[in-house]
Structure 1
């Protein structure tokens, strides 16, 4: 086994090292993990360990690459055709090699987005274990049957738990003594570019005339595709711009109409330009187990872009955005259309003032600062305990 380092990513680490285990790819959709870990990388060395990829005849290795955010992404490359225990053993060996290459560090933090990384990482000796519980993964389509048991173990091991939304916090706070809600935040400067007059012209959107309603994000079992098809049918004079990768559902199941435009994935940097051309944002989430605890990052992103929003009744959208009159909530296709018509006719000025007042207290910088403070508190007790043991050992010597 070996670590391949085509970008010289494995240099001398900073005093603190954070190793993240994620079920998401760094280059998939730019969302919560990227926002948080990019900020972590400003003060410490950050490794983002993805799930393995499999290649015929591959020599097991970690393929590493440093991102522009100064995060080192490490992808296990394993031979195809291996069974579960073999995969776990090889991943464990690769992580051990990574730590050996890292060398000494003042503090090592293990940061988990998926409990399913425990089988190959539970043996690691770290100063701090963090679980950023951004979603209820056990409710997602294709969830591993052992995920719930693995999460119970991770709750026992972690010194601090973060949740990606208020409703998830309320569901998990009694399972651990140190749980904190950090809902998805906003890069207001980035999405605020949609309000400017000099946004780029987009060839796949600007030629489409008529009121434009848009969605961006992952298109999967959490989207009510029947609702999307119905509202497009009810208003054939509206144009629906649908941005994002299609995963875990058959692309052929997506409704097809002349006014429905499935534009595929776009880069994070491109999103403000797309939102600048939308009159209304839509969040047509299905109401099922997979959406019960979601806290959509796109809610404040739509608002920062100055795009009014209609959403289905997602708890973390109703509280606080719906209750504060910042987002319209709809229960069925007819109400969705009626709410969108209201937003198309309503002047934005008063609404934008309330939006900006709400977003003024939100930023990913503040979110990371709050998380870092809780991590420091959680790390104090282990450090004090290690010092006590060292003093006892010195006395016995």
Structure 2
């Protein structure tokens, strides 16, 4: 029986359903998973709130009187004893493994004393405008303690592969059946009320709306074609919502649940990846790329590396607001032959990946590391790559 897994995460389980939820919910089929989230502020004595988040997954949410956000040193001074006490008192825990999403939580490893440690690196967190001080030092500590490093895309793999002896590239995958509900010709989904009355064509995006969004591109789309409806689905974080562009045909619909997304996607004529090209997007590998593919919708993106390199023959790429407008025009005007070629290429990509396969491969590496935590880590490998549609992998 695999060891219980203690996860240290800066992302809340009930925020946006993404890579951590996909991977951890699948790992929970064979081992109990405990997710320690960032603390929330609450008066009174510090405590851990236990939440049954999914089958086999328990979220441990610290409540502390400390005012500082995240896994700051002041918070860690309070949270570490809570986690240590929980680890001692939890009979089901025993010898555990650890899975870390944020280097800032590295000191909490001492509270659970794991046999094996995984660093699942989704982003180059230090590239964000609001990156906490000391993040790079903590990451250096984490790389020294980790038995395995997983990266969320090939750009991050290249950035980390020489910093640890066992780095494995696991690009984000897709639940093709879930987003396949939005395919043309699939049984019709009920149109969401806040999208139902919008005219076509509709150009849509879903995801977190933050400093990675190219607001100039979004504004240009709305201004160039007042007859287009630009639909932006997702929570706004780390930026002032008042600074988002506004137009009668630009619709900021807010965050939606994972289950709601296919119904929005089914009503779009073009899917958008309007990411800014800055330090915060240098290493991102957007999960939504393959989710758009599963819906078999045309996709237009700015040329971020982990979209342009593997999928440049499927996704239309544009590096300026004007070019992005032109690429969307081309997507809407594309003939049947072009649409069919791109759709077949999307299907070929999806046939080679799934969250089930990704989580299983990660689990096998973790099991091996847990059985022999003192063994010298293996030579760095590229465990998985986002295959080009034309490859024969």
TM-score by length of 2: 0.90
Summarize the Cα distance change of 1:26–1:100 in structure 2 as closer, same or farther, 3 Å threshold.
Answer: same
How much has 1:203 moved relative to structure 2? Answer: 1.2
CA distance in 2, matches of 1:106, 1:247: 38
Residues 231 and 337 of structure 1 are in contact (CA less than 8 Å); yes or no, is this contact kept in structure 2?
yes
Q: Deviations over 1:326-349 (max 9, x none)?
A: 111101122112111111122233
Residues 172 and 179 of structure 1 are in contact (CA less than 8 Å); yes or no, is this contact kept in structure 2?
yes
CA distance in 2, matches of 1:184, 1:289: 20
Counterpart for residue 130 of structure 2: 142
Q: Deviations over 1:41-92 (max 9, x none)?
A: 111000111100012x322100111023431011100014479554222211
How much has 1:104 moved relative to structure 2? Answer: 5.5
Q: Deviations over 1:259-302 (max 9, x none)?
A: 10000000100100100000000111000000000000000000
Counterpart for residue 46 of structure 1: 33
Larger Rg: 1
CA distance in 1, matches of 2:231, 2:106: 40
* Structure 1, 84-93 or 40-49: larger mean CA deviation: 84-93
Q: Specify the SS of the correspondent of 1:262.
A: strand
Counterpart for residue 389 of structure 1: none
Counterpart for residue 109 of structure 2: 121
Counterpart for residue 390 of structure 1: none
Q: Specify the SS of the correspondent of 1:341.
A: helix
Counterpart for residue 388 of structure 1: none
Q: 2:7 aligns with which of 4, 8, 20?
A: 20
Counterpart for residue 362 of structure 1: 353
* Structure 1, 61-70 or 135-144: larger mean CA deviation: 61-70
CA distance in 1, matches of 2:94, 2:38: 27
CA distance in 1, matches of 2:375, 2:274: 49
Counterpart for residue 11 of structure 1: none
CA distance in 1, matches of 2:375, 2:281: 41
How much has 1:107 moved relative to structure 2? Answer: 4.2
Residues 83 and 112 of structure 2 are in contact (CA less than 8 Å); yes or no, is this contact kept in structure 1?
no
Q: Specify the SS of the correspondent of 2:263.
A: helix
Q: 1:31 aligns with which of 14, 18, 21?
A: 18
Q: 1:184 aligns with which of 149, 159, 172?
A: 172
Counterpart for residue 311 of structure 1: 301
Summarize the Cα distance change of 1:69–1:280 in structure 2 as closer, same or farther, 3 Å threshold.
Answer: farther
Q: Deviations over 1:172-197 (max 9, x none)?
A: 10000000000010100000001223
Residues 21 and 112 of structure 1 are in contact (CA less than 8 Å); yes or no, is this contact kept in structure 2?
yes
Counterpart mapping for 1:217-236 below 5 A: 217-236=207-226
TM-score by length of 1: 0.89
How much has 1:106 moved relative to structure 2? Answer: 6.2
How much has 1:381 moved relative to structure 2? Answer: 2.8
Counterpart for residue 152 of structure 2: 164
Counterpart for residue 210 of structure 1: 200
Residues 89 and 120 of structure 1 are in contact (CA less than 8 Å); yes or no, is this contact kept in structure 2?
no
Unaligned runs of 5+ in 1: 1-13, 386-397
Residues 15 and 105 of structure 1 are in contact (CA less than 8 Å); yes or no, is this contact kept in structure 2?
no
CA distance in 2, matches of 1:181, 1:85: 31
What count of residue pairs does the alignment treat as equivalent? 369
Counterpart for residue 260 of structure 2: 270
CA distance in 2, matches of 1:198, 1:85: 51
Q: Deviations over 1:83-138 (max 9, x none)?
A: 95542222111111221232255641110000111233335321110100111001
Q: Specify the SS of the correspondent of 1:121.
A: helix
Counterpart for residue 71 of structure 1: 57
More relative contact order in 1 or in 2 (CA 8 Å, sep 6+)?
Answer: 2
Unaligned runs of 5+ in 2: 377-393
Runs of 4 or more consecutive aligned structure 1 residues displaced over 6 Å after TM superposition:
none
Counterpart for residue 10 of structure 1: none
Superposed CA RMSD in Å reads 1.7
CA distance in 1, matches of 2:175, 2:317: 24
